[in-house]
């Protein structure tokens, strides 16, 4: 007899983002801003003062205070994790019993289903309508039919860039009282329909935030869950004690204190996303292409087209990385700097002229 991996992990492959180096990276919804020099100087001083021989603060007190202050919420309702990813895994595993019933939506962030699979939950997938929207009454009925213990989805949605309003989100949370609702607001900095400031008013809601997108700190791996004190106590109890390392706690605290810079950059990213959307729509309009371009409320643009795979390869050949969704025949293009957006649009235009128009001539 020899050791055999358990069946559920046998066929799994490690997560592999686009490998290789590309001139322009518009594939991971990151901020196109690096930290400015002044903040990097502050960070150098912070590092000078770290006690490397000591464990981190398990309560991440300072970090949580700075995060809560930035968003104007009560720090007693916040749990910090090693990226939102850690919290997603905890929600699927520790916060639910085995064989619990989890409702996810499609299309959406694939990690929700993945962690539920690992945790041996039963996953039920609600398919979005033809416009990639969620009908709340429909979703409520779906959750009731399937006796859901948890509903989890991103708002605004990754990858579609579409969202439900705060009013709709409230209706959902109030409509399924005995079911936990997790709203992943990773991209809500770019839109104004958040339930963050009222998350603690409900007994069945958790709102997730991250430093990886609008805050431009994907390198730090910082995620936050906001909920009432009962849920917060449970989340703080199930996380591993030293989950957020001291470097990320200290640097994150510093970054969230730069409120004005963060707000300016968020606004610039929103502006850049609009420009990108406009640019893509113009190309599609100019050539009357059968592409569907979705007006975004996040920092990326979602485009459905039969040419998605071909465009993806063409862009890679020109050292531009975007995200390709094979099953959906779609591309997700993260907003970049003006220069990066221009390069992308020039190459999209070239693709259309060289590959689509020539073929049809």
Report the interface residues with ligand PLP, using CB under 6 A.
29, 83-85, 109, 154, 158, 184, 186, 210, 212-213, 218, 223
Minimum CB separation of residue 82 from ligand PLP in Å reads: 8
Q: Is 181 helix (H, G, I), strand (E, B) or coil?
A: strand
Minimum CB separation of residue 285 from ligand PLP in Å reads: 29
Separation CA 25–CA 27 (nearest Å) = 6
Contact between residue 67 and residue 169 where contact means Cβ atoms under 8 Å apart: no
Smaller CB separation from ligand PLP, 33 or 287? 33
Query: DSSP code of 152?
Result: E
Minimum CB separation of residue 83 from ligand PLP in Å reads: 3
Task: Count Cβ atoms within 10 A of the Cβ of residue 286 and give its class: 0-12 exposed, 13-18 middle, 19 or more buried.
Answer: exposed
Smaller CB separation from ligand PLP, 209 or 258? 209
Smaller CB separation from ligand PLP, 187 or 312? 187
Minimum CB separation of residue 87 from ligand PLP in Å reads: 8
Separation CA 25–CA 245 (nearest Å) = 27
Contact between residue 281 and residue 301 where contact means Cβ atoms under 8 Å apart: no
Smaller CB separation from ligand PLP, 223 or 336? 223
Separation CA 312–CA 309 (nearest Å) = 5
Phi, psi (degrees; rounded to nearest 5) at 59 = -95, -5
Smaller CB separation from ligand PLP, 227 or 283? 227
Pair of tokens at residue 185: 């607001």
Question: What radius of gyration do the chain's Cα atoms show?
Answer: 21
Minimum CB separation of residue 218 from ligand PLP in Å reads: 6
């Amino acid at each position: 007899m020899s050791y055999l991996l358990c069946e559920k992990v046998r066929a799994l492959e490690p997560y592999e983002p686009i490998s290789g180096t590309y001139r322009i990276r518009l594939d991971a919804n990151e901020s196109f801003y690096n930290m400015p020099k002044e903040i990097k100087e502050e960070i150098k001083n912070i590092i000078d003062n770290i006690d490397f021989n000591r464990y981190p603060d398990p309560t991440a007190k300072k970090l949580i205070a700075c995060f809560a202050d930035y968003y104007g919420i009560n720090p007693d309702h916040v749990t910090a994790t090693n990226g939102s990813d850690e919290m997603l895994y905890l929600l699927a595993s520790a916060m639910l019993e085995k064989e619990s019933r989890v409702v996810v939506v499609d299309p959406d962030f694939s990690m929700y289903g993945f962690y539920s699979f690992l945790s041996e939950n039963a996953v039920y997938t609600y398919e979005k309508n033809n416009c990639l929207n969620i009908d709340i009454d429909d979703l409520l009925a779906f959750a009731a039919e399937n006796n859901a213990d948890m509903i989890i989805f991103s708002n605004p949605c990754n990858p579609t860039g579409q969202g439900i309003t705060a009013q709709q989100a409230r209706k959902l949370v109030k409509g399924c009282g005995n079911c936990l609702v997790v709203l992943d607001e990773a991209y809500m900095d770019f839109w104004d329909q958040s339930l963050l400031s009222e998350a603690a008013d409900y007994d069945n809601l958790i709102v997730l935030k991250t430093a990886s997108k609008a805050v431009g700190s994907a390198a730090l791996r910082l995620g936050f869950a906001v909920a009432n004190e009962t849920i917060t106590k449970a989340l703080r109890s199930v996380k591993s004690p030293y989950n957020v390392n001291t470097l990320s706690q200290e640097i994150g605290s510093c970054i969230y204190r730069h409120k004005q810079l963060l707000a300016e950059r968020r606004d610039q990213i929103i502006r850049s996303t609009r420009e990108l959307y406009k640019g893509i729509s113009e190309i599609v309009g100019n050539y009357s292409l059968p592409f569907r371009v979705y007006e975004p409320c996040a920092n990326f643009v979602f485009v459905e087209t039969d040419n998605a795979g071909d465009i993806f390869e063409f862009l890679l050949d020109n050292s531009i990385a975007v995200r390709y969704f094979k099953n959906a025949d779609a591309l997700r293009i993260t907003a970049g700097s003006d220069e990066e957006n221009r390069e992308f649009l020039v190459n999209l235009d070239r693709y259309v002229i060289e590959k689509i128009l020539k073929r049809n001539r």
